């Protein structure tokens, strides 16, 4: 077991914490760029809270609205240009993971002379970055407490990431009441994203990770318990708070300590996201049971047993393969019945026209996978999920 762990992000968690943002950012500068998506932050009070706090602290701001759910590199270039032209000293992402990811890339691109996509293709070009602050409105990507961001290149259909310790947010403001207005479909997709990050880590060939396996199981149980409650009762603060606090721990490095980090599901999903503008968490949920069925074997069944017993409470005295199959069915029930996530790729507008190119793009990422899949197996998997 060998790893580094370093997550210097300061988290302020709870109702009303975003009121503090002005005084928190002020030591970093007096000119901010607020990065956000649609109009939801204007409806739910986030925009008013943040701007009132900045005004009170004497921090000016510019705005980059309209960041896409799968943020495009064109938005990054636009944001970086605003920073360069106006001497922006810090960036505030107000929204979900897409805004945070886009804002991270802007923080780096603000100090780079050239197209932002270069920073995705060559992470070592990130030498300096503006300080980033996050006001989160959706529990999903965990970007509020890590160093990476996923960006899409609409020309090449490539979905890939920026990443550097310099891109860790300085302070993330997590107010679970800001997620009360997240619609059911986005709540479900966000929860599926948290769940998927966790199983990417959990289904791993390392066998000596008992402590962090238990942390991963707690994140999974949190999704299973509170995801459906958050959908039924959108203003249930206990549910929203537990999902919001579990989310970053699925991806900030703790549960990956000592692992090989194959991340197969994301490797399979990102090419789909490059070709089709789908919701990331839905794509992951749809692929998960098909991936599970493909990798279940004598070699992996023990991991499925732990998963079934410790996450879904399946009777440990049953036959291991029976437990494994029940665990896969329980996963499907959770995603598709309780959370009402679409069950097939067709339902979210994906057809089979680009399976060949998508599998071609996914195949090289399988080198470190828990169970490596060939290009043909990936196409089979996509087809099964259609």
Question: Alpha-carbon distance 29 to 179, whole Å?
Answer: 28
- Residues 79, 92: Cα–Cα separation, whole Å: 12
Q: How many CA atoms, within 13 angstroms, populate the side-chain half-sphere of residue 245?
A: 14
What does the alpha-carbon distance between residue 145 and residue 149 come to, in Å, rounded to a whole number?
11
**Closer by beta carbon to a copy of itself, 117 or else 226:** 226
Contact yes or no for 60/115 (Cβ under 8 A): no
Are residues 229 and 188 in contact, defined by beta-carbon separation less than 8 angstroms? no
Using the rule CB under 8 A, give the single segment among 112-120, 218-226, 318-326, 330-338 that binds a copy of itself. Answer: 218-226
Q: By rule CB under 8 A, what string of x and - marks binding of each residue 15-54 to a copy of itself?
A: x-x-------------------------------------
What is the b/e burial string over 202-214, where b = at least 16 CB atoms within 10 angstroms of the residue's CB? Answer: bbbebeebeebbe
**Cβ neighbours, 10 Å, residue 351:** 11
Structure tokens at 69: 């759910």
Position 87 contacts a copy of itself (CB under 8 A): no
d(CA 281, CA 194): 8
User: Which sign, positive or negative, has the C-alpha torsion 23, 27, 29, 34?
Assistant: negative
Which CB sits closer to a copy of itself, 30 or 218? 218
Question: Is position 1 an interface residue for a copy of itself (rule: CB under 8 A)?
Answer: yes
Query: In terms of Cα–Cα distance, which of 331, 83, 74 is closest to 227?
Result: 331
CB of 322 to a copy of itself, least distance (A): 20
**Is the CB of 6 or the CB of 85 nearer to a copy of itself?**
6
Among 48, 60, 155, 238, which residue sits at the site for a copy of itself (rule: CB under 8 A)? 238
11 binds a copy of itself (CB under 8 A): yes
Tell me the sheet residues that pair with 172: 11, 134
- In whole angstroms, the minimum distance from the beta carbon of 145 to a copy of itself comes to 9
Judged by CB under 8 A, which of 8, 87, 317, 364 binds a copy of itself? 8
Q: Which of residues 155-194 bind a copy of itself (CB under 8 A)?
A: 176
Could you tell me how many residues of this chain bind a copy of itself (CB under 8 A)? 42
Query: Which of 45, 115, 161, 258 is in the footprint of a copy of itself by CB under 8 A?
Result: 258
CA distance 137 to 46: 8
**Out of 85, 122, 124, 210, which residue is the one contacting a copy of itself (CB under 8 A)?**
210
Residue closer to a copy of itself by CB (options 30, 177) is 177
Query: Whole-angstrom Cα distance, residue 269 to residue 284?
Result: 6
CB of residue 207 to a copy of itself, shortest distance in Å: 8
Residue of 97, 39, 28 whose CA lies nearest to 63? 39
Give the shortest CB-77-to-a copy of itself separation in angstroms: 32
Q: Residue for token digits 């503090």? A: 20
The reply to whether 234 sits near a copy of itself by the rule CB under 8 A is no
User: Tokens representing 198?
Assistant: 């966790």
Position 4 contacts a copy of itself (CB under 8 A): yes
Among 135, 139, 196, 246, binds a copy of itself (CB under 8 A): 246
Q: Which is nearer to a copy of itself, 15 or 353 (CB)?
A: 15
Q: Does 108 bind a copy of itself (CB under 8 A)?
A: no
Q: DSSP assignment of 238-270, as one string?
A: HHHHHHHHHHHHTTSSGGGTTS----HHHHHHH
Q: Is 113 in the site for a copy of itself (CB under 8 A)?
A: no
Binding site for a copy of itself (CB under 8 A): 1-15, 17, 176, 208-215, 217-219, 221-222, 225-226, 237-238, 241-242, 245-246, 249, 254, 257-258
């Amino acid at each position: 077991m060998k790893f580094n762990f370093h997550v210097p992000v300061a988290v302020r968690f709870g109702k009303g914490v975003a009121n503090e943002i002005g005084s928190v950012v002020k030591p970093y500068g007096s000119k901010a760029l607020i990065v956000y998506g649609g109009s939801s932050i204007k409806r739910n009070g986030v925009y008013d809270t943040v701007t009132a706090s900045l005004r009170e602290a004497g921090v000016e701001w510019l705005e980059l609205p309209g960041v896409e759910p799968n943020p495009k590199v064109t938005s990054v270039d636009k944001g970086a240009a605003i920073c360069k032209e106006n001497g922006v000293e810090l960036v505030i992402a107000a929204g979900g993971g897409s805004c945070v990811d886009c804002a991270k890339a802007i923080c780096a691109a603000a100090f780079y002379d050239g197209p932002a996509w270069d920073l995705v293709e060559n992470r070592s070009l990130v030498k300096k970055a503006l300080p980033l602050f996050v006001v989160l409105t959706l529990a999903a990507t965990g970007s509020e407490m890590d160093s990476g961001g996923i960006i899409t290149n609409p020309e090449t259909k490539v979905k890939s990431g920026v990443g550097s310790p310099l891109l860790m947010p300085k302070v993330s403001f997590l107010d679970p009441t800001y997620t009360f207005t997240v619609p059911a479909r986005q709540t479900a997709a966000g929860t599926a994203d948290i769940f998927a990050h966790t199983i990417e880590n959990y289904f791993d060939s390392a066998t000596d990770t008992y402590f962090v396996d238990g942390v991963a199981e707690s994140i999974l149980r949190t999704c299973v318990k509170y995801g459906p409650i958050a959908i039924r009762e959108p203003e249930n603060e206990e549910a929203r708070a537990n999902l919001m606090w579990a989310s970053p721990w699925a991806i900030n490095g703790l549960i990956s300590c000592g692992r090989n980090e194959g991340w197969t599901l994301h490797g399979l999903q990102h090419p789909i996201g490059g070709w089709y503008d789908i919701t990331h968490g839905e794509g992951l949920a749809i692929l998960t049971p098909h991936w599970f069925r493909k990798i279940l074997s004598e070699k992996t069944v023990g991991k499925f047993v732990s998963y079934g017993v410790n996450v879904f409470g399946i009777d440990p005295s049953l036959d291991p393969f029976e437990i494994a199959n029940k665990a896969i069915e329980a996963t499907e029930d959770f995603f598709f019945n309780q959370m009402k996530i679409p069950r097939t790729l067709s339902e979210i507008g994906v057809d089979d026209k680009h399976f060949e190119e998508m599998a071609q793009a996914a195949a090289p990422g399988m080198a470190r996978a828990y169970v490596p899949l060939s290009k043909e197996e990936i196409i089979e998997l996509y087809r099964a999920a259609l």
